[in-house]
Chains A and B, each alone.
Chain A
Amino acid sequence: MAEDSFSLPSDVLVLIVLLLPTSARRRLRLVCKLWRDVIDERTSEMQSRSKTLAFLTQDLLAHRVHGPGDGAGPRARARRGHQLAAAGHVAGLDSGRTGVATDERSRESGYRGDGSHNRGEGDLGAGG
């Protein structure tokens, strides 16, 4: 009973993780293998740092995707998941331009982010 009492769908887990401070992710990764995979794949550091870019990209995509219609209907909403996924990819490809696209906030957090990333890898090494 306890076994499946809280096996959360990964979409739900992502929502939860995003509500907690990014500093908690290293700890949340250790809860179980599923959480680690979800956090590594769906809430990567890149996404949290280039949030601004991700939003811009998503908007651009939204315009392109919904260009012909008015895009206000629920079906447009249903497509949002795909857009978000696509936005993630584009943000990844564009990461070289992040410095141009985002504001000083990302520059400020640049060092901090890199630091925690390194610590994260250190954890991995120690674990395996």
Chain B
Amino acid sequence: MAAPESGDGNNGAARMVTLISSDNTRFEVEAAAASLSQTLQLTILDGGGGGGDGIPLPNVDSATLSKVLEYCIKHAPAAANGGAPNATAVDRAELERFDNEFVNIDQSVLYSLIMAAHNLEIEGLQSLVAKKVADMIKGKSPMEIRRTLGFPDPTPEEQAEMNAHMLEYGWAYE
């Protein structure tokens, strides 16, 4: 889980890296936090992102990136602990509270986060946003799921199949 080199050369100030959002905002963040992203971890291990260079992230805008980094910074200590097996119940409860609050957001923001977590390969965040979407669609009929997620109107074929499904199983959604 943890970066193999974590702790290495970290005696003084933590190593910092710079990330550059699609709209050219620069974010300076501890390498340990950025390394929650598998994609970034590779670059960082190769020595990228330091100095004046910065790692450009053309697919992530600054609003999304700041949200993503909020997650990474909060989760970095636990991740460095190898998933924090010795974390106290209080620590875990605090992370859980943070996570719940973190995905309590507008649907468009949620979607941006889903895409960013996917592109940056941040495992914990991917699970968190997937869990959120799963909760949103749990127990809903196909048509309700489409509405919840803002899909366009179904094709006649899709509609016919959903109608057939509701004829047979509509009672289950009452």
Contacts and interface: CB of A to CB of B under 8 A. Distances in A.
Contacts of A126: 164
A13 B4 CA distance: 30
Contacts of B141: 27
Interface residues on B, range: 35 or more
Contacts of B137: 16, 20, 28
Contacts of A74: 3, 38, 41-42, 45
Interface class of chain A by DSSP:
helix
B40 to A, nearest CB: 10
Contacts of A20: 134, 137-138
B17 to A, nearest CB: 15
A31 B149 CA distance: 10
B117 to A, nearest CB: 8
Given A5-B149, A8-B114, A11-B118, A127 B161 contact: yes
Contacts of A19: 130-131, 134
Interface string A86-128: 0000000000000000000000000000000000000100110
Nearest to A15: B130
Interface stretch (B62-70, B73-81, B86-94, B151-159): B151-159
A5 B107 contact: yes
A77 interface: yes
A9 interface: yes
A25 to B, nearest CB: 12
A12 B38 contact: no
Classify the interface of chain B: helix, strand, loop or mixed.
helix
Contact of B130 (A3, A12, A77): A12
B127 to A, nearest CB: 7
Task: Give the size category of A's interface with B.
Answer: 20 to 34
A65 interface: no
Contacts, number: 76
Contacts of B134: 16, 19-20
Interface string B7-26: 00000000000000000000
A78 B169 CA distance: 42
Contacts of A24: 138
Nearest to B3: A74
A15 B111 contact: no
B50 to A, nearest CB: 17
7 contacts: A5-B149, A9-B115, A12-B129, A19-B130, A28-B145, A32-B158, A127-B161
Given A20-B137, A126-B164, 18 more contacts: A2-B151, A6-B111, A6-B151, A12-B118, A16-B133, A16-B134, A16-B137, A19-B131, A19-B134, A20-B134, A24-B138, A27-B141, A28-B137, A31-B146, A32-B154, A74-B3, A127-B160, A127-B161
CB-based closest 3 A-B pairs: A15-B130, A6-B149, A30-B142
